[in-house]
Structure 1
Amino acid sequence: MTEAVAIRHVAFEDLGSFEQVLRERDIDVTYVEAGRGWLLEQVAWRSPQFLIVLGGPMGAGETDAYPFLEEELALIRARLAREEPVLGICLGAQLIAAALGSKVCPAEAKEIGWGPVELSEAGAGSPLAELDSPVLHWHGDTFDLPAGATHLASTPVCANQAFAVGSSTLGLQFHAEAPGNDIESWLIGHAHEISQAPGVSVQQLRADTHRYANRLAHRSQRFLNRWLDGALK
């Protein structure tokens, strides 16, 4: 059976709407919890066709505080060397960029809330074209575009919102998998961050999620199916 392993850093940041797509394609989904030891061994033993590295509140460079990030970087580098499919979301995208030698650093401002992304010419011809909808942004770090990567999307706050390396590696700074009914878990888990972010409120995040999440779920499933089709070639 085809398998996807998702590395999860916090319980509520899971595959969201992506999980339904994977299961409908008969792709078995296994979560590996970051920081619980034996990460490399767990993934290597499974040898999954797909690796998905999910979001998290720490920075990609905080390897001294969170040593398991070194394991994730090693795992990503190994898969990139073998051209095995990797999808990174938020922290996951930053880890892919770091694994490719790019600088990851704090952005000029945190980007939290729903909004569009502007596709590059390459992005408009990629699976991201399916995401004709506001997406959920939730990050404070950014990264330089990795050498050899194709730039796919940007926002005024963050020049590098998405990039691809060939057809098998994709990094998304934003959350295309964003939850709908599960947004309350995000609002609770990120309560302190929300309270410290100028112009961001629980009420607005909740209202915008109710407004946009259903449309995004439909669009993101079309996006993921297109990416999976290309990654499997």
Structure 2
Amino acid sequence: MSRPLYVIEHWALAEPDAGRRHLIARGHDVRVIEPWRGEVLPDLTGEEAGVMVMGGPQMVTDLADHPYLSDECRLIEQAMEKSVPLVGVCLGSQLVAHVLGAAVGPLTDGSQCFGYYPTRSTGDGSGLLPERLVTLNGNAEHWSLPEGARLLAMGESEAAPRQAFSYGETTIGLQFHPEVTRPILDQWQRDYGHVIGLPGTQPRAEQDEGFGRHDPALKAWYGRFLDTWFGPPAA
């Protein structure tokens, strides 16, 4: 019997992202759920292959405006209680941090991220992330490190400070976006181009150059990470 791997999405993507396609190609039973469209989240049994909570335009500081995000927080709690492998990406990582009691919000100087930023692994992250990786970020809010969590990666830019953490053996949060394909980046630039020019963001030409230069290494790492974190699909 296949074990579902749930992917929670928060907006209409231009196409399935690279991580979802990778997991499907590996044979995982990927099931996409979109609570923002009214779709109902599952009750976890503990036998699932994993849960991924992805990014989106919503903010943790606007939790009251998006009641389905509170439902996602309960799903995150279930995943951690039942030791289901859990990955939070950007908004997803912020929701995980929020569930763990950490502060989530904008940087004090008002900086935002939109572009490619150098990231370095910490000692705790050295087995999971390369020493240096240039990562795509697109966010206005960040998490502080939850109590009991391990900081895995730091950004070299003040606009992109903490980049990855783990909690226990089955939960990880990634502030950056390794899943974004070229069509999805085009969608970002079209739909959120109004933030380009704000402190911390990069011009579109720099983002385009960054995708061409850094995306192959980012995708190669992401595929290895997903294979490690979720393991092979059930036979």
Give the TM-score taking structure 1 as reference length: 0.87
Distance 2:77 2:14 in 1: 23
How far the C-alpha of 1:189 sits from its partner, in A, is: 2.1
Distance 1:128 1:48 in 2: 25
Distance 1:166 1:45, change over 3 A: closer
SS at match of 2:124: helix
Please say which of residues 171-180 and 218-227 is displaced more in the overlay.
218-227
Query: Residue in 2 aligned with 1:189?
Result: 191
Distance 1:117 1:14, change over 3 A: farther
Query: Residue in 2 aligned with 1:54?
Result: 54
How far the C-alpha of 1:63 sits from its partner, in A, is: 1.7
Judge conservation of contact 1:3–1:28 (CA < 8 Å) in 2. Answer: yes
Query: Residue in 1 aligned with 2:207?
Result: 205
Query: Residue in 1 aligned with 2:38?
Result: 37
Give the TM-score taking structure 2 as reference length: 0.86
Query: Residue in 2 aligned with 1:76?
Result: 76
Distance 1:74 1:122 in 2: 27
**Percentage identity across paired residues of the two chains:** 28
Query: Residue in 1 aligned with 2:216?
Result: 214
How far the C-alpha of 1:203 sits from its partner, in A, is: 2.3
Structure 2 residues not aligned, in runs of 5+: none
Query: Residue in 1 aligned with 2:124?
Result: 122
| Match for residue 163 of structure 2 among 161, 173, 186 | 161
Distance 1:13 1:145 in 2: 32
Query: Residue in 2 aligned with 1:16?
Result: 17
Judge conservation of contact 1:180–1:210 (CA < 8 Å) in 2. Answer: no
Distance 2:91 2:15 in 1: 13
Query: Residue in 2 aligned with 1:96?
Result: 96
How far the C-alpha of 1:199 sits from its partner, in A, is: 5.1
Stretches of 4+ aligned residues off by more than 3 angstroms: 45-48, 195-199
Distance 2:170 2:26 in 1: 17
Structure 1 residues not aligned, in runs of 5+: none
What is the Cα-based RMSD across aligned positions, in Å?
Answer: 2.5
Deviations 1:14-61 (A, max 9, x none): 762212331232102121113222533xx2289742110100112113
Deviations 1:197-223 (A, max 9, x none): 565322221222122222322222122
Query: Residue in 2 aligned with 1:85?
Result: 85
How far the C-alpha of 1:194 sits from its partner, in A, is: 2.5
Aligned residues, how many? 227
SS at match of 1:29: strand
How far the C-alpha of 1:103 sits from its partner, in A, is: 1.1
Distance 1:30 1:189, change over 3 A: farther
Distance 1:14 1:128, change over 3 A: farther
Distance 1:122 1:15, change over 3 A: farther
